[in-house]
Amino acid sequence: MSNRTSLMAAALVLCIAGVLVGAAGQTPQQPRMTTLKSDFIPGEKTLFYDDFTDMGAGDAPKRFKSRGAAPELREAGEVRQLTATANGQLTPNLKSLPANFTYEAEILFDLGRGNARSNLLLFSKEREALTWVTAVSGDGFDLVVSTKVPKFEEFGRKRIKVDLKQPVKLALWMQDGRVRVFVNGEKQLDFNQVELPLIDRVEIQSGLGGQGASVGYRSVRFAESAPDFSQTLFASGRYVSHAILFDTNSDRIKEESAAAIQVVAKALQANAGLKLLIEGHTDSVGDAAKNMDLSKRRAEAVKSVLVSQFQVNTARLTTAGLGATRPIESNDTPQGRTQNRRVEFVKQ
């Protein structure tokens, strides 16, 4: 089956599933946030984001400098990906990274009859300050993290098994000298006392061997690491979260939101007098009335989980759905839209 055929089949399944859920008209059952093991929290301030939703067939990627073989846009329904079919490099339009940051990428690896790599390289003054190699072959999924500053050091490596029929979610979290690597939400590598110089260039390399291999990027995000919830809330009266995620056009909270939900619950448990207004916000894509309703249901979903799963008194939580009425960035770009899709907590 070709890549395009596979994408179209996957999109068709998603569309059918969406129709069935919508027809049922029932509130989806939420994952058990108390028991899910997820300690990755995406950075809150988006520095770079692209999901290629405003890229047309035959266009060059707008937010990357492309070198080597030209990648191509492949799409089927709502599924879109920038696909590398030969060796090449993508450099995000990103001038630098802060000391604490996160990187997330959703990638579909198609090995064909060969192998594939997607490597993240972080440069400082043209030297590789941090390199994360993800090498995929028929018998394994290899992760290697190293540096060449001030001298070469391999921090660690690991081989894991991954279902390559589905896109793989890769994430890296740099926080106070600690580097953690995640694959599909599971922590795989963890190092501390890592001192990185200022990162002034980022490069994503696609390496392919054999016949028919490709690397398809569904989304790429860099963000400044999340500040402390309680400290931010009590200092400013408001905390903006981009780490509480939902299924598309749904109020079902994604499992990878567990860590962010747990942080809010711990703050409420530690401060018995704390009351919160939970605000749901959407981007402006689609019908305004439907977005308003969706934002209300999402705010209610977060409250419901805090009450039913973490035993927070319902009287301490109120909700509001604001739809797309209070954007914090322009809705004209993928990065702006992802910033506007958020949950905010307001101290009452």
Domain 45-224 has CATH 1.10.3720.10: no
Count the Cβ atoms, other than its own, within 10 Å of residue 332: 10
Question: Tokens 């770009």 label which residue?
Answer: 333
Pairing of strands 186-191, 64-68: unpaired
Mean pLDDT confidence for 35-39: 74
How do the domains of the chain map onto residue ranges?
Answer: 27-37+227-347, 45-224
pTM of structure: 0.81
Average pLDDT, the chain: 89
> Percentage of residues in the chain with pLDDT exceeding 70?
92
| C-alpha closest to that of 147 among 122, 125, 170, 172 | 122
Between β-strands 153-160 and 140-147, what pairing exists: parallel, antiparallel or unpaired?
antiparallel
pLDDT over 50 at 22, yes or no: no
> Stretch 5-20: mean pLDDT, rounded?
40
Could you tell me if 169 and 181 are in contact, meaning their C-beta atoms sit under 8 angstroms apart? no
pLDDT at 57: 83
Dihedral sign, Cα of residue 67, residue 68, residue 70, residue 74: negative
Give me 339's structure tokens.
């910033």
What's the CATH code, domain 27-37+227-347?
3.30.1330.60
Q: Higher model confidence: residue 140 or residue 274?
A: 274
What pLDDT sits at residue 27?
A: 60
Q: What is the pLDDT of residue 79?
A: 85
Strands 64-68 and 238-241: unpaired
pLDDT tier for residue 33 given thresholds of 50, 70 and 90: confident
Per-residue model confidence (pLDDT) at position 75:
86
Q: What is the DSSP string of 296-323?
A: HHHHHHHHHHHHHHH---GGGEEEEE-T
Mean pLDDT of 77-106: 93
pLDDT tens digits along 284-299: 999 999 999 999 999 9
Q: What DSSP string runs through 208-277?
A: EESSS-EEEEEEEEEEEPPPPHHHHHHHHSEEEES---B-TTS-PBPGGGHHHHHHHHHHHHH-TT--EE
Residue 26 confidence (pLDDT):
52
| Domains 27-37+227-347 and 45-224 in one fold | no
Q: How far is CA 217 from CA 26, 249, 330, 339, in A?
A: 33, 22, 24, 20
Judge whether residue 15 has pLDDT over 80.
no
152-160 own/partner pairs: CB under 8 Å, 24+ apart:
155/179, 155/189, 155/191, 155/194, 156/189, 156/191, 157/189, 158/188, 158/189, 160/188
Beta bridge partners of 17: none
Confidence check: pLDDT of 174 > 90: yes
pLDDT digits (tens, 9 = 90+) for 183-192: 998 999 999 9
Sign of CA dihedral 49, 284, 286, 302: positive
- For the record, the structure tokens of 166 come out as 């589905």
What is the per-residue pLDDT for 2?
A: 45
Locate the DSSP E strands across 111-177: 115-124, 127-137, 140-147, 153-160, 168-175
